[in-house]
Amino acid sequence: MKQILTKSLDKFKSGLRWAWGHKLRVAVLGMVLAVVAPRPVKSQIIDPCCAILSFGLGTISGTLNRVIGGGLNNISSIDQGIQNFEQTTVWPQSLITQAQTLVGNIQGISTQIQSVIHTSVASATLPAPQQLEQNLLSADSSQISQTGAAYTAVYGSVPDATAAPSDVRNRIDMTDAAAQAAMKRAIEIDQLADLEIQAANQINQSIQSAAPGSAPIIEAQADAWLVRANAYTQAATADLMRVRAIDLANAGADVKTGATNTSNLGQQLMNILKRQ
Amino acid sequence: MTIAFFILFSWAMIKAKSQRQVIALSLGGAVAVMVVAPPSVHAQSLWAEIQAVLDAITGIIQTGLDSINTARTAISNSYQNVIWPTQLINQATAQVTQMIAQYQNPMRGILSTNLASATLPPVQQLESVMRNHQIGDFNTLVTNYANAYGPVPSATAASPADRAMTDMDDALTLDNLKTLKATDDTADLTLQAADQLESGASQSAPGSAPFLTATAVVASIQSQAVTQKMLAAELRQEATRLAHDNALRKQGATHTGEFGNQIINLLKRN
């Protein structure tokens, strides 16, 4: 231990001797150390930078409060105004609930309509008419294939070629065809109307649980169904017009046949008188 | 960085062998210190930094907030003055209320005007039951119809074809009279729904009205479906009338053929 201390003292002494001998170098090293050494933190009281910093931060804080705080307050105030306006004037919850309740009431009326419209109206008493009537009121398009046979059972078939002239047979066949087509169309339209009522009920139920923003989507779907319903109505009207057109054609054909028959009768009477 | 520089510089200074090297090292070190040493903070530059922050707040941030404020104010004004002006909303609901008072009762009165026109008792009864908008008295309708138009002929009074045809004619007529009683009832219900919807519209807000319009469209679909049911009934009726006329045509053709044969046979005998 003593040896180490003695060695250290010797080295220190030799260092001092070197420094004494190299004053310029020690001075340069001292200056460099003074320049690059880290500085201690300056005191707030005696350092003017801290006062400036404090004043600057205070000014920044005031400006933040005034400019950003004031601006945000203004925006918040406007947004609250918009929110109040939307909640009290545009989308008041009480009126939305009231409208949904009204939709429920309309649903009740729809259910009544559905019940009334499906009341049985069958009235035929004899077997063949009963079968045809059942077919016509079935509202089931899968039964259309049986309409022809039920129709023929009541109204008869087209006469044989030996029983009636070809023009009369053609007219009878066309009239039967138009009448049967109209009956078949009536079955289709009844079924379509039932499906429309079913879809309308589904849509109405979804309106009851909709939001003000989603109700217009459901309304768009309902509009599409209405357009479709109009097309079905047009299809039914078209067949009604066809039936009436055939009726008119028959009336015209009857006049034509009458004129021809009258002419033929006159000719035959002339021939008989000539022979006598 | 600074410590490494100082150690390196000290080592070089100690190892320098001549006065000239010491001077060169000193000059080099001075230049290096000027480049490497951190600049000292001056009060003037600190204030400039603070001023820069203040400028940013009062410049770009204030301008941004002012723009947002202006935009939100414009949106608010647009909502209240252009899109949903309270005055026009109140005006619209007031108009609905006014039109309800103007039209609903008078139109209801017009539609409920009594149209009965029959003069004889059995026909009056039939007409009354035909137009009563009820679906619970179909049996009465059938009875009153039979009183006015008679029953299907008995098997001894008419051919099977004629009996079937008259039964079908009566059936389709009664079917349609029953359907009309039902559709009269549904028309009343549809009018009830329309009245409720209109009344609801008079108390609605822009945000609740879409529920009512959607339901109104649904009611229109149902109304259209009922119209189709009526059209289907009319189709059946027209088709049956056509079929009836055609059946008579078939009978006429058959009878004409038979009549011609009989005349020919008579002439042959003579």
CB pairs under 8 A between A and B: 394
Interatomic CA distance for residues B80 and B83, integer angstroms: 7
Type of residue found at B109: G
CB A176 within 8 A of CB A247: no
DSSP string for A3-52: HHHHHHHHHHHHHHHHHHHTHHHHHHHHHHHHHHSPPPPPPTTT-HHHHH
Q: Closest residue of A to B87, CA-based?
A: A89
Any chain A CB within 8 A of the CB of B130? no
Q: Do B2 and A67 touch (CB under 8 A)?
A: no
In angstroms, the separation between the Cα of residue A267 and the nearest Cα of chain B is 17
Q: Do A105 and B213 touch (CB under 8 A)?
A: no
Collect all residues of chain B within an 8 Å Cβ-Cβ radius of residue A158.
250
Tokens of B176: 């349609």
Average pLDDT over residues A151-175: 93
In angstroms, the separation between the Cα of residue B118 and the nearest Cα of chain A is 24
Collect all residues of chain B within an 8 Å Cβ-Cβ radius of residue A186.
232-233, 235-236, 239
In angstroms, the separation between the Cα of residue B4 and the nearest Cα of chain A is 11
B265 exposure class (CB count in 10 Å sphere: 0-12, 13-18, 19+) = exposed
Does residue A239 have a pLDDT over 90?
A: yes
Query: Which of these ranges, A33-42, A165-174, B243-252, has the smallest mean pLDDT?
Result: A33-42
pLDDT at B151: 93
Q: Do B196 and A102 touch (CB under 8 A)?
A: yes
Does residue A19 have a pLDDT over 80?
A: no
- Spell out the SS3 assignment of B176-242: HHHHHHHHHHHHHHHHHHHHHHHHHHHCCCCCCHHHHHHHHHHHHHHHHHHHHHHHHHHHHHHHHHH
pLDDT at A43: 53
Q: What is the ipTM, given to two decimal places?
A: 0.76
Average pLDDT over residues B239-255: 91
pLDDT in tens, B117-161: 999 999 999 999 999 999 999 999 999 999 999 999 999 999 999
Query: Which of these ranges, A86-90, A156-160, B13-17, has the smallest mean pLDDT?
Result: B13-17
Q: Do A250 and B249 touch (CB under 8 A)?
A: yes
Does residue A46 have a pLDDT over 60?
A: no
